Amino acid sequence: MTHLPIIVVALYLATAFALPLLGRVKKLHTGYFSLCIATAGLVMSLLTLFYVAREGTFSYFPGDWPPPVGIELSVDWVTVLMHLTINLIGLLVLFYCIEDLSSEVRPGHETWYYTLFFLLMASLNALAMAFDMFTVFVFTEICTLAACALVAIKPKALCVEAAFKYLILSTLGSGMLLLGTSLVYMVTGHLNMGLIGQLLPQAIDLYPLNILIALGLFIIGLGIKSALFPLHTWLPDAHSSAPTPSSALLSGLVVKLFIIVVGRIIFQVFGSELFLMIPIPEVILLFATFGIFAGSLMAIAQTDIKRMLAYSSVAQVCYIYMGMALVSQTGIQGGLLHVFNHAVMKSLLFLAAGAFIYKTGIRKIEDLVGIGYRMPLTMAAFSVGALSMVGIPGFSGFISKLTLAFGALEAESPFFVVVIIISSLLNAVYYLPIVLRGFFGRPATEFQWDKLPLLIIAPVLALAVINIFFGIFPGSLQELARLAAETWLP
């Protein structure tokens, strides 16, 4: 049972390499084959959850070499939560891929899309449990390259430009991560996060500058990759021009994993004492506050629906950063809860927007008037995502915002409660008009059902159901996020 997390990664890697060989078989078959593998991945991460719940968290040493020598993979509650998120969203997005891909990529490139998808999924799963700086770096690189390729696979000049921008900026981020790792290695002689964490309190007296610069490089480097506010410039282009499934994956999962890595570095390598000694939490809080407002304000100004959703991601990522930088347990719990909830909401919104584009070709927000009469189910699912984003009670977005607000109170900074409330109002400004105009605008046509392929409508509805379920019964997820937060800040 302890092998399950790494088997997921190895299985995804093996599938990624095997798919080009199977590509000779009909394209639909590779799609269904991928679905089987992704389902197996989800089942394995559920089994890991049950195993960890019964036997407790554990560390895994590939090759049976324990740490200073070997690699450590930490299967703790953060890992379990992230694996569930990644594999659940990945599976649902994969369902959507099968029908949608033929309209997004060149004919014959579908198999390559699945290869990139599995490379991305493998690296995300590995990033969630990597407890070793160099493993983090390696999988960061795989993740970055796969994500860039997932944007560039669409044969449009806009996508190539966006992917190039993304590639340049995130390679800069990787470079900073590597430089920071080498600076920490220089003073501690270890790459394992736990061992670095033990040595840093002594090392900070001897080499304060090295360690401060390393922390700065980690936060800026991973901040670029996870689109922390002033470093977010690549995100709107990449996420809005990419094929719809890629947008859902990039917005829902990829940026989150880098936040998890930042969290591990802050809380498990540097530790909260060291982190609080330097005014870095304040800086992150400042960035996050600006980002929440700026992201929402820029989203209001957009006319393209996918671009609007991408700017909304900029704001939502800042919520998660805010939760972590509050350095209170409830704050971190809210942040981790928002990782899951935002992954569900944003992939729901992207897939629903993709369904509008698939059926009608409409990308402009003002043309979506009366879309609720033509695609009622999709629009209902979109509304669930939109209301959840705004934070209406009964939807999962409300739960994570509430927990974040409690976290702000626990950290004795009620200012951030005000930030959350105002930004929720700003979210309402750009999400609700779409819902209202979609359902109550002047209908252009007679009422009709969606008439979408089952594989497109099913994942959208499934995500909406998951969203409402965790909005009404948040208990189990709250408990999981609380346990994960305890791993970071006991």
Partner 1 sequence: MHDLVLQTVAKLIIPFIQLFGFYIIFFGHLSPGGGFAGGTIVASSFILYALAYDVQAGFKRMPRLASKWLESMGALLFVLVGFAGVAMGGSYLANHTGLLDLGEAGTLISGGFIPLLTLAVGVKVASTIISLLYHLLEEKTNV
Q: Which residues bind partner 1 (CB under 8 A)?
A: 3, 6-7, 10, 13-14, 17-18, 20-21, 60-64
Tell the smallest beta-carbon distance from residue 148 to partner 1 (Å): 16
Tell the smallest beta-carbon distance from residue 159 to partner 1 (Å): 18
Q: How far apart are CA 236 and CA 136, in angstroms?
A: 25
* Residue 138 near residue 191, CB atoms below 8 Å: no
Q: How far apart are CA 268 and CA 260, in angstroms?
A: 11
Tell the smallest beta-carbon distance from residue 242 to partner 1 (Å): 22
Please, which residue, 157 or 454, has the CB nearer to partner 1? 157
Tell the smallest beta-carbon distance from residue 11 to partner 1 (Å): 8
Spatial neighbors of 357 by CB under 8 A, at least 6 apart, are 244, 306, 363
Please, which residue, 21 or 157, has the CB nearer to partner 1? 21
CA geometry: angle 267, 271, 274, nearest 5 deg: 130
* Residue 334 near residue 419, CB atoms below 8 Å: no
Please, which residue, 15 or 487, has the CB nearer to partner 1? 15
Please, which residue, 18 or 46, has the CB nearer to partner 1? 18
Tell the smallest beta-carbon distance from residue 41 to partner 1 (Å): 14
3-state secondary structure 295-322: HHHHHHCCCEHHHHHHHHHHHHHHHHHH
* Residue 370 near residue 445, CB atoms below 8 Å: yes
C-alpha separations of 301 from 298, 385, 429, 489 in Å: 5, 20, 11, 38
CA 47 from chain centre, in angstroms, equals 22
Please, which residue, 5 or 334, has the CB nearer to partner 1? 5
Please, which residue, 13 or 305, has the CB nearer to partner 1? 13
Tell me if residue 23 falls in helix, strand or coil.
Answer: coil
Tell the smallest beta-carbon distance from residue 157 to partner 1 (Å): 16
Please, which residue, 130 or 214, has the CB nearer to partner 1? 130
Please, which residue, 126 or 183, has the CB nearer to partner 1? 126
Tell the smallest beta-carbon distance from residue 231 to partner 1 (Å): 31
* Residue 228 near residue 321, CB atoms below 8 Å: yes
Q: How far apart are CA 101 and CA 488, in angstroms?
A: 39
Please, which residue, 24 or 442, has the CB nearer to partner 1? 24
Q: How far apart are CA 192 and CA 174, in angstroms?
A: 18
How many other C-beta atoms can be found within 10 angstroms of the C-beta atom of residue 424?
Answer: 19
CA geometry: angle 261, 264, 269, nearest 5 deg: 125
Query: Can you say whether the dihedral through the CA atoms of 228, 229, 230, 231 is positive or negative?
Result: positive
Tell the smallest beta-carbon distance from residue 23 to partner 1 (Å): 9
Tell the smallest beta-carbon distance from residue 182 to partner 1 (Å): 20
